[in-house]
A and B are shown apart, each in its own frame.
Chain A
Amino acid sequence: MAYSDKVVDHYEHPRNVGSLDKNDPGVGTGLVGAPACGDVMKLQIKVNPEGIIEDAKFKTFGCGSAIASSSLVTEWVKGKTLDEAASIKNTQIAQHLALPPVKIHCSVLAEDAIKAAVADYRKKQQGS
């Protein structure tokens, strides 16, 4: 199967690979997927006091499309508010990367990862 140029670019030059301190109250972590299903994404956001996402990092276990989807969303969420980030749709990711139908689940997972990271951050804020 041929990958789109954008998928190849993100796979070969992944943006924002890494980890943020998950115990930092300003960091929200989303961990979605399952090893048994062949993809796991960890997406982390660092939110400033104004509620803007100022940094994002990811690590992904999965195919090229899964890696590209998570790499792409770390670029997209930076500079966004939590609501804006949480409103990113998988269809936008799939369209941007020209994912074939069998890889749509990778974009769904990336959307879930953002939502999970935002939810984790909000939960931390309520708790503190």
Chain B
Amino acid sequence: MNAVTAIETKQALSNEPRKPVYLDYQATTPMDPRVLDAMMPYFIEKFGNPHSRNHTHGWEAEQAVEKARQQVAELIGADEREIVFTSGATESNNLAIAGVARFYKDRKNHIVTVATEHKCVLDTCRHLEQEGFEVTYLPVQQNGLIDLEALKQAITPKTVLVSVMAVNNEIGVVQPLREIGKICREKGAFFHTDAAQAFGKIPLDVNEMNIDLMSISGHKIYGPKGIGALFVRRKPRVRMIALIHGGGQERGFRSGTLPTPLCVGLGEAAAIAKREMAQEAERLAKLRDRFYESVKSRLPEVYLNGDLKSRIPGNLNLSFAYVEGEGLMMGIKDLSVSSGSACTSASLEPSYVLRALGVTEDLAHTSLRIGFGRFTTEDEVDYAADRIVEAVQKLRSMSPLWEMAQEGIDIKSIQWAAH
């Protein structure tokens, strides 16, 4: 192709309508094509039941599942016998918390968790409270991290389990896992961590970090939806009562035929993450910083929610003061992001995670979560920054709150009628 044709082709391409830009990698991720390739043979050709012990079809599937189990274990420094496949992190969290609590209930009846945990952890704890367990919900500091002293004080001789998420799904902050693990081990409580947003994103080692149980998700790391895993420590042994009863698969912790292709997908996704995590983290941090600088340099009063340093590279959570989140999302329809505004959720409350950080309700309504991932390009990041700056400027020019702020009126001094 000569130079002129190349330029013409480029121009022709640039006139095509732009595809919507996906910046919601904490919600889910597209599958890595390499993962799909690994899965394909196990749908039709190698379809056997991995629990069929007496024929080649079964052995073939079993071999694939066991390889996947090892791939998952290797990413967190675990033994493959410590990995239980589940349907996803929600099930893993349910199994870990309820399973452990119910097994040890004759001796211990107290659980410690955190106010900013995922709903599936909080909701499981609420159910356990109804069963008679006591639950302590630790607050977080303004940066989203727990206070280790508060944790130490919360753990009693009756505490069976401490459940602290590794990385928060809204604000991307990384909790001090190593320190938490050390405290739990000293105090004799099991340490469970919901690592749905951390597994494959940051280095994790269950032994160095004294983690006893870890929840893992497939679709957050470019693997398939509908598969997850739970790491359950063997030494010292952690025991649980199963949630799903049946044929006793997964060492009795989780009955039901394993979905071979999904297990293979999770394993392959974990293996890719192990190889590429370091360089991917570096690339995402650059993209994230590029986006943040671009927006911050053009817009005043943009606030970052959650700690910047102790954070996964692919997440930003920003409050654009005086502009309501859902209204803003409508102005950036070709960007897929998520908002902490009440209007985007079924409840009328703004994000409980942001509220737990002490972000005021009015600022919580103005927040966007922007997630970067494996397939995000520099061009997309620049485009997204331009569109967001444009939309915020337009909406601020229409915002009575922005007008008041410009006139020097303190919005908090006004007696607003709640509705």
A: residues with CB less than 8 A from B are: 3, 8, 11, 14, 17, 19, 31-42, 59-64, 66-67, 105, 108-109
Q: Do the beta carbons of B398 and A36 come within 8 Å of each other?
A: no
How far is A37 from B341 in the complex, measured between Cα atoms in Å?
9
Contact check, B419 vs A63: say whether CB atoms are below 8 A apart.
Answer: no
Cross-chain contact B399 with A34 (CB below 8 angstroms): no
Given A33-B419, A59-B400, A64-B327, also A38-B350 (CB < 8 A): yes
Chain B 293-337 interface 0/1 with A at a Cβ cutoff of 8 Å (1 = within): 000000000000000000000000000001111110011000000
B269 lies within 8 A of chain A by Cβ: no
- The answer, yes or no, to whether B342 is at the interface (CB within 8 Å) is yes
Query: How far, in angstroms, from A52 to B27 measured CA to CA in the complex?
Result: 52
Known contacts being A35-B411, A36-B362, is A41 close to B418, with CB within 8 Å?
no
Q: Report B-chain residues with C-beta under 8 Å of the C-beta of A33.
A: 416-417, 419
User: Given the complex, which residues of A lie within 8 Å of B399, measured CB to CB?
Assistant: 59-61
A121 to chain B, nearest CB (A): 18
Question: Judging by beta carbons under 8 Å apart, are A34 and B419 in contact?
Answer: yes
Contacts known (A35-B411, A36-B362, A67-B327); A61 close to B419, Cβ less than 8 A: no
CA separation between A17 and B411, bound complex, in Å? Answer: 20
Residue B393 lies at the interface, judged by CB distance under 8 Å to chain A: no
In the bound complex, what is the Cα–Cα distance between A37 and B324 (angstroms)?
10
Q: Nearest Cβ in chain B — how far from A2, in angstroms? A: 11
- In Å, the complex CA distance between A3 and B327 comes to 12
Contact status B418-A62, CB under 8 Å: no
A109 to B418, CA, bound (A): 11
Given known A3-B330, A14-B398, contact A59–B324 (CB-CB < 8 A)? no
Contact: A64 with B326, CB < 8 Å?
yes
Does B365 belong to the interface (CB within 8 Å)? Answer: yes
Cross-chain contact B418 with A32 (CB below 8 angstroms): no
Residues of B within 8 A of A17 (CB): 397-398
Which B residues lie within 8 Å of A62 (CB)? Answer: 324, 327, 343
Q: How large is the interface on B (under 10, 10 to 19, 20 to 34, 35 or more residues)?
A: 20 to 34
Residue of B nearest to A112 (CB): B419
Q: Which of B342, B360, B398, B402 contacts A38 (CB 8 A)?
A: B342
Would you give the shortest CB distance from B24 to chain A, in whole angstroms? 16
B361: Cβ under 8 A from any A Cβ: yes
Q: Which residues of B contact A40 (CB under 8 A)?
A: 400-401, 416
How distant is B36 from chain A, measured CB to nearest CB, in Å? 30
* B361 touching A35, Cβ below 8 Å: yes
Chain A, Cβ-Cβ closest to B330 = A64
Measured between beta carbons, the chain B residues less than 8 angstroms from A8 are 330
Residues in A neighbouring B327, C-beta threshold 8 A = 11, 61-64, 66-67
CA of A11 to CA of B401 in the docked complex: distance in angstroms? 18
> Cβ of B330 and Cβ of A42 under 8 Å apart?
no
Residues of chain A lying within 8 A (CB to CB) of residue B360: 36
A10 → chain B closest CB, angstroms: 11
Residues of B within 8 A of A108 (CB): 419
In the complex, number of A-B residue pairs with CB atoms less than 8 Å apart: 86
Determine how close the nearest CB of chain A comes to the CB of B347; give it in whole angstroms.
11
- 13 A-B pairs with C-beta separation under 8 A: A8-B330, A11-B330, A17-B397, A17-B398, A34-B419, A36-B360, A37-B361, A38-B326, A38-B342, A61-B322, A61-B323, A61-B402, A63-B341
**A28 vs chain B, min Cβ distance (A):** 15
Q: Is B324 within 8 A of A19, CB to CB?
A: no
Give the docked Cα–Cα distance between A31 and B400 (Å).
9
B400 close to A63 (CB less than 8 A): no
8 Å CB contact of B365 from A35, A41, A42:
A35
Query: Which of A3, A35, A42 has the most CB atoms of chain B within a 10 A radius of its CB?
Result: A35
| Known A31-B400, A63-B330; contact A38-B411, beta-carbon cutoff 8 A | no
Residues of A within 8 A of B401 (CB): 35, 40, 61
Interface string of B334-363 (1 = CB under 8 A from A): 000000011100001010000000001110
B341 touches A38 (CB 8 A): yes
A20 to B400, CA, bound (A): 12
Give the distance to chain A from B408, nearest Cβ to Cβ, in Å: 15
Is B403 part of the contact surface with A, judged by Cβ < 8 Å?
yes
Return B71 CB to nearest CB of chain A, in Å.
39
Say whether A63 contacts B418, CB under 8 Å: no
CB pair B343 A59 closer than 8 Å: no
A19 to B398, CA, bound (A): 10
Interface residues of B in 44-69 (CB under 8 A from A): none
- In Å, the complex CA distance between A123 and B343 comes to 34
Quick one: closest A residue to B360, CB to CB? A36
Closest B residue to A3 using CB positions: B330
Which residue in chain B gives the minimum CB-CB distance to A62?
Answer: B324
- Interchain nearest-CB distance for B377 vs A (Å): 27
B367 to chain A, nearest CB (A): 11
The 10 A-B pairs at the shortest CB distance, nearest first, are namely A35-B362, A34-B416, A36-B361, A42-B400, A63-B326, A64-B330, A59-B400, A38-B365, A63-B343, A61-B399
Known: A63-B326, A66-B327, A105-B419. A41 touches B400 (CB 8 A): yes
